[in-house]
Amino acid sequence: MSSKVFRDAWGVPHLWADDPSELAFTQGRNAAHDRAWQLEVERLRCEGSTAALFGAEALGWDRFARQSRLDDTARRCFERLAPDTRTWVEAYVHGVNECLPTGAGRAPEFAETGLTPGRWQPWTPLGLWLSMHVLAAGFPNKLWRQAVESRLGPGAVDLFTAEGPGGPGSNGWLLGAERTAAGAPLLAGDPHRIIESPGVYQQIRLACPEFDVVGLAMPGVPGIPHFGHGGKVAWAITHAMADYQDLYQEILRRDGPDVHARGPQGWEPVARHVERVDVRDAGPVDIEVLETARGPVVVGGPDETQALSLRHPPRVWEDLGFDALPALLRAADVRDVDAALDRWVEPVNVVQAADTSGGLLHRVAGCVPVRPERNKRVPVPAWEAPYEWQGRVAELPRERVRDLAVMANDRGLAAPFGVEFAPPHRAARIRRLLTETDSWEPDGMTKVHTDTLLPSAALLLARLERLGGLSDPAGELRGRLLDWDRHMDADSTSAALYGAVRAAAARRIAGHAALGELPGLVHTVPAPDVLLPWLMSAPKVAFALDNFLAAKDPLGIDTDLVLRESLEEVATRTDGPVSWGDMHRLSPWSALPPDPAEERPALSGSFDCVLSTASIPTPGSSITRGPVARYVWALARREDSRWIVPLGADGVPGSPHHRDQMPLWSRGELAPVVTDWNHLTEETTIH
């Protein structure tokens, strides 16, 4: 057997091997060579061992990872894989293990921290996948809704329903042949996540005699699960915003060394053991791990006022859907993609696909349990039988695509399975842009990717327009905002003023006495540190501000007064004019403190724009949620496809391809997808 590694001008790896197993091995080697530090951090995360590297501040995640049984769940799911898939994953892990020492030698973070690469287990890729997605469905929101119900009443819950800043998301659109200049479908979009350094997606090509696929891989995971183009067929996903994880209120008691939980039939034994976590620059910490018949206990315990267990499909059915990954690589048309996605489990996605014969696909894929509606909203009592799961939804929704389909985390195909979805602004704006012409070309897709119109601004501006009793400076500011074109461009001072007024209004509402104890909730709920971002009232209000402005006297709050005071505050500031980009700069998350000299480009867009970007406060800094990749899959000619990532192909700081795509990404431009092997450079040294 043999394999080869080629690179294009951006350092993107193009891998060739004699068969799929050798190709998986080569993909693992390449991931370890290009992304060794990233892979090892993610391995430590899924094993719950990050505190040994980063110290006590990482203990909160390790506690959650251990108590939620991430690594054990991954192992169980691996053992249930089809034999061919298990062999394929093992080949990938073998490649990772073989090249990790070389990759670690390239990455300065290993020497900086003293980390020695560990050995990957056969199920480690499944553990990475689970740790990346276990919070994706937002089960901590149920703690927030429970608190709102108990403190403000059930009617107040919907005031706070809006897409939160930490959740995943995407834009995606599918154009049929009659809407394109080439007379063949186009598939395009951009996934939204926390922008990380190195990036969460890796541009790659995987080729062997059975298939030849370009796409966006997730380092540490074999195949191309989310966004791929196989020449004859292409696919893409967005997060469906479905709810498929439940929290159960548990009543626990200690009986000597044992623990019991109250279930529907009475007291039941609880699986219990203790795990020791090493902590850098401190002593080891023992963590009690409990699992009831519902699932692992992730909040509280028998000695605390509250205990909550987490029930989610991979733990219940011991399946992460990895059997779909090799099937996707072999897909020749949308029927094959459709069949592969019947095996999909985690997370629940909305999928679009197109093929060269004109086939189009738009469906939901994943595993959704059958249970009462109440389970979707708040933690439910473990001891009451009606809240038990009754199997899984047998058939997920799909719709026939005629010439156009859009997916943007809004209420759509997955509406029956969710509670909170993204506001409709992005999806509606994309549809409007796409209907402006019937002759779309791949390069024209950047117009959609980079659209900065903020439709949701209309509500706040309409409220400002009818305000009375303003001072002259506030009146002048209002006039300027009403004349604004509503585009959140980085160089726009009017956009910055709008952002300042909106932030001031959200801050006033979040601190209003009508919210009672909610502002301090993060300090009173006995939840793990990793869940606390879902319990912070200020971001909740900021992202749901339009709900408060649209309601009449919400919770007794005078929103006219709030807006008037906010306008007056911004109008009297003396810090001089600034642009939106001055307030809104790229801040990627990284496991180690970033280099202060690294460029932080000004960002256009906002969370309700098609160019969806948001700054998320963290202690002492902020991180950015935004497009972690952009892609255009052309079905007429694959070489006309385009893609880009925020940083670059190589995860090693200082390497030529570590941040070389940043200028294009910042300008909204795309790089070509090179498919001609003659235009690639073969690596002469196999690492």
Domain spanning 141-164+453-486+493-578, CATH architecture: Orthogonal Bundle (1.10)
Q: In which residue ranges of the chain is pLDDT below 50? A: 165-166
The rounded distance, in Å, linking the Cα atoms of 673 and 481 is 41
For the question of whether the overall pTM of this predicted structure is more than 0.85, the answer is: yes
Question: Locate tokens 């006039």: which residue?
Answer: 479
| Block residue for tokens 């990717």 | 449
Q: At what angle are helices 472-483 and 559-571 packed, to 10 degrees?
A: 100
> What residues have CB less than 8 Å from 545, skipping those under 6 apart?
460, 502, 505, 506, 509
DSSP-derived letter for residue 241 is -
Spatial distance between the Cα atoms of 492 and 206, rounded to a whole number of angstroms: 42
Measuring CA to CA, which residue among 253, 379, 311 is closest to residue 73? 311
Spatial CA neighbour of 545 closest among 503, 513, 573, 579: 503
Residue among 477, 479, 493 at smallest CA distance from 583: 493
Looking at residue 622, its pLDDT comes to: 66
Instruction: Tell me the DSSP string of 654-673.
Output: TSTTSSTTHHHHHHT--EE-
Tokens of residue 546, six digits:
């339009």
Convert 455-481 to b/e letters by CB count within 10 Å (16 or more is b): bbbeebbebbeeeeebeeebeebbeeb
Return the domain boundaries, the chain.
141-164+453-486+493-578
**β-bridge partners, 227:** 216
Is there a contact between 584 and 603 (Cβ–Cβ < 8 Å)?
yes
pLDDT at 533: 84
Can you name the residues that pair with 188 across neighbouring β-strands? Answer: 173, 632
- Per-position b or e across 625-643, b if 16+ CB within 10 A of its CB: bbbbbbbbbbbbebebbbb
Q: For residues 481 and 50, what is the distance between their CA atoms, to the nearest angstrom?
A: 47
Residue 43, CB half-sphere, CA atoms under 13 Å: how many?
23
Cα distances (angstroms) measured from residue 513 to each of 128, 502, 508, 555: 42, 19, 10, 10
